[in-house]
């Protein structure tokens, strides 16, 4: 009987120990000396048509350490003034195929990158601009974005 009790206690102890093992999720903010680059770093579209058109633009975001090595599993906060998760908004972010609000959080992949999909409206006399901002810890990157009528 005592032998069963000891085996039972040992088994229950393993149940508490095993989940604590492993590397964890390893998600972190970028170190203070990291750089965040966004490509393209500037985007402008001129559209003088009277009807509106929805476009898709992809931004390639990369995080590197002070030695130039790409950093994976880095938490990014991505924001743009005009982005809302609504089909009636003029700018919409997508994460994993779903519309998301601004700001939203994403992770860099194994290459230290994240591909941002941004849908936006032009034409119909729409004129707007803003700065796409990406932060992680104290690291910061930005890209200028504007839509105008070409006038």
Model's pTM, two decimal places? Answer: 0.80
**Better pLDDT: 1 or 87:** 87
Task: Please list, in sequence order, all residues whose beta carbon lies within 8 angstroms of the beta carbon of residue 4, skipping any fewer than 6 positions away.
Answer: none
In angstroms, rounded to a whole number, what is the distance separating the alpha carbons of residues 122 and 51? 8
Task: Please list, in sequence order, all residues whose beta carbon lies within 8 angstroms of the beta carbon of residue 11, skipping any fewer than 6 positions away.
Answer: none
98-100 and 104-107 strand pairing: unpaired
pLDDT tens digits for range 36-71: 999 999 999 999 999 999 999 999 999 999 999 999
Per the CB < 8 A criterion, the answer to whether 36 and 78 are in contact is: no
Query: Which CATH topology does 28-148 take?
Result: Immunoglobulin-like (2.60.40)
Determine what percent of the chain is predicted with pLDDT higher than 70: 83
**Better pLDDT: 52 or 13:** 52
pLDDT for res 27:
84
Where exactly are the structural domains of the chain? Answer: 28-148
What's the pLDDT band for 1 if we cut at 50, 70, 90? low
């Amino acid at each position: 009987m005592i032998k069963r009790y000891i085996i039972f206690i040992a088994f229950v102890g393993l149940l508490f120990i095993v989940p604590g093992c492993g590397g964890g999720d390893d998600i972190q903010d970028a170190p203070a000396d990291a750089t965040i680059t966004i490509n393209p770093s500037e985007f402008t579209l001129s559209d003088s048509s009277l009807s509106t058109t929805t476009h898709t633009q992809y931004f390639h975001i990369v995080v590197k350490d002070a030695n130039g090595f790409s950093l994976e599993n880095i938490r990014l906060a991505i924001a743009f003034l005009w982005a809302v998760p609504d089909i009636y908004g003029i700018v919409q972010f997508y994460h994993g195929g779903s519309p998301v609000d601004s700001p939203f959080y994403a992770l860099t992949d194994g290459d230290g990158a994240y591909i941002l999909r941004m849908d936006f409206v032009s034409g119909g006399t729409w004129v707007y601009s803003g700065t796409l901002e990406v932060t992680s810890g104290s690291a910061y990157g930005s890209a200028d974005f504007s839509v105008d009528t070409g006038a």
